[in-house]
Amino acid sequence: MGRGAYNTLHPTPHALHSPLEQLLEIQPHIYWLNGGSSNFYLAIDEGGLLLVDAGMPRREKLVWEQIAALGYRPTDLTRILVTHADVDHVGSLAAIQQATGAKVYAGKETAVLLPNGRSPKHMPWFAQIIIDTFMRYGKIPADCIEIVEHGQTLPFLGGIQVLATPGHTLDHISYFAPVSGVLFAGDALNTRNGLAATPPAISADMTAAKRSAIQLLELAPATFACGHGTPLSGHSTDTLMALFNELRQD
């Protein structure tokens, strides 16, 4: 599916040369932070700042810069939502959590991996060996982690729905904020080239991945905020049905 039916969000030209060059407001008080290989999302809430995922290792400085650009301090970050424990989503989590004291929210299996600095097994065998051997991330203290479950509503951003979206990894979690219409899809969907499900080559269970993608499309969010690719907004029923049909026919 191409991008023709979507509005791709782009920074304004002046922002490309400002302290906010990697930060874009995708909905009121919700920001996309371009971490290069993967995305962060930063939100301003009544109880403090909220971060969704934590990118590759050594990206914490980028987070501090963007928090400062919004007029806040690192200690104003109080919550971090984790979609899954791949190193490109939790690589800087330990550094960020240690500096802020933020509570980390994650699925049950992810909560087991985080204190051990381990990633889930879902990659082709050779890539998995490299990840397990050379791409470890900082360990997160177990007492800093709160386990979330499918169907739970977190009291942030007017109520964030926790959605089990297995496929890419078996314990993948997505988060939907109905008030703003933002879907934090992690790697259950991606927007590298339009909107698509996670690729089969990097999925633990592609059948489950397709079911999860359909589940998320049925929400018809205002903005797809995925782990990879530029956030997308402005979708039509026809566009969503095209992807529904594609996933159901495979």
Asked whether the predicted pLDDT for residue 119 surpasses 90, the reply is: no
> Is residue 235 assigned to a domain?
yes
> Is residue 3 assigned to a domain?
no
Q: Look at residue 143 and give its three-state secondary structure.
A: helix
Contacts of 41 (CB under 8 A, 6+ apart): 26, 30, 31, 32, 33, 51, 52, 53, 182, 184, 225
pLDDT band of residue 18 (cuts 50, 70, 90) is very low
Q: What is the CATH number of the domain that holds 108?
A: 3.60.15.10
Question: 25-59, pLDDT tens digit by residue?
Answer: 999 999 999 988 899 999 999 989 999 999 999 99
> Is residue 137 assigned to a domain?
yes
pLDDT at 7: 41
> Is residue 143 assigned to a domain?
yes
The number of folded domains in the chain is 1
Whole-prediction pTM value?
0.87
> Is residue 133 assigned to a domain?
yes
Q: Whole domain around residue 66: which residue ranges?
A: 8-249
> Per DSSP, which regions of 165-207 are E strands?
173-177, 182-186, 189-190, 196-197
> Is residue 2 assigned to a domain?
no
Question: 147-204, pLDDT tens digit by residue?
Answer: 999 999 999 999 999 999 999 999 999 999 999 999 999 999 999 888 888 888 888 8
Are residues 110 and 99 in contact, defined by beta-carbon separation less than 8 angstroms?
no
